[in-house]
Homo-oligomer: A and B are copies of this chain.
């Protein structure tokens, strides 16, 4: 979300500190519970990374089991979700961060969510309001993760949509696309946040439910100066645009409005830093992730985010 999704609250009683807090919930949309836990973590932390904060004082996981689960399902499935969440936290350098797991027992549907809290000094925070005309827009994950996951579910359940995909794609295509999406959606935006400081990023937001253009527009509205975010490239996970065309859902992709889960950061960087940021990002992620210069910032009478008419689609493998 935009800066609005993450509370940044000056502590009145402790002048030098600010409280950063985010809450996120989402529904399972993956077949593999351990994977679901890892995506949930990436999702919860993402709003905090978007303001450049990379240290947490506490992370809380909130799980509501579905009342339709059997006791065994409940224990096994929820256990695996927790394990994925917890292991990913540890593996990403947060071994000493207190993790509280809270199970709600009140819901007919399975919901996974969490809270991340950080008490910071102001220099740790990059407020989402300082975009400058001339900035370059960098996106740190390709789009289409959710659609790649969906295609994999269609494949598992042998649905009508799966049959449509088969007219032009193979089972291996679907599997490969799914694996790229897994890599991307479980990846924490931590390195992106760290490099925001190194390259003096002016602001950022993370890409989730409103799609790239929706979040870009939110971020634009948040700026002190009136700015236009012009987007001229859409990096999309390999095969996803083709899948979306085959099932008649490509309009959202072509207009930059596809719903994303655990998307990357959209960052406004000084123009001379953008190349270096992207190179450094690929290096910092050991070549496992890529970032993309997808547009630029100009002065404007009204803040807005637009897609250029001749927008270029980039197919991304990871």
Contact = CB atoms under 8 A, between A and B. Distances in A.
A100 interface: yes
Q: Which 4 A-B pairs have the closest CB atoms?
A: A9-B58, A19-B57, A9-B98, A11-B57
A119 B17 contact: yes
Given A7-B60, A13-B55, 4 more contacts: A9-B58, A13-B119, A19-B117, A108-B108
A108 B110 CA distance: 11
A21 B119 contact: no
Contacts of A313: none
A106 B108 CA distance: 12
Interface SS of chain A: helix, strand, loop or mixed?
A: strand
Contact of A7 (B12, B100, B111): B100
Q: Considering residues A12, A60, A108, A117, which has the most beta carbons from chain B within 10 angstroms of its beta carbon?
A: A117
A60 B21 CA distance: 10
Nearest to A113: B104
Interface string A6-32: 010101111001010101011100000
A102 interface: yes
18 contacts: A7-B100, A9-B57, A9-B98, A11-B119, A12-B57, A12-B96, A13-B57, A17-B119, A19-B57, A19-B119, A21-B58, A21-B60, A21-B117, A25-B106, A106-B111, A107-B109, A108-B109, A117-B117
A174 interface: no
Contacts of A119: 11, 13-14, 17, 19, 119
Contacts of A23: 60, 62, 102, 115
Contacts of A11: 57, 119
Contacts of A14: 17, 119
Contacts of A27: 106
A27 B106 CA distance: 8
Contacts of A96: 12
Contacts of A111: 106-107
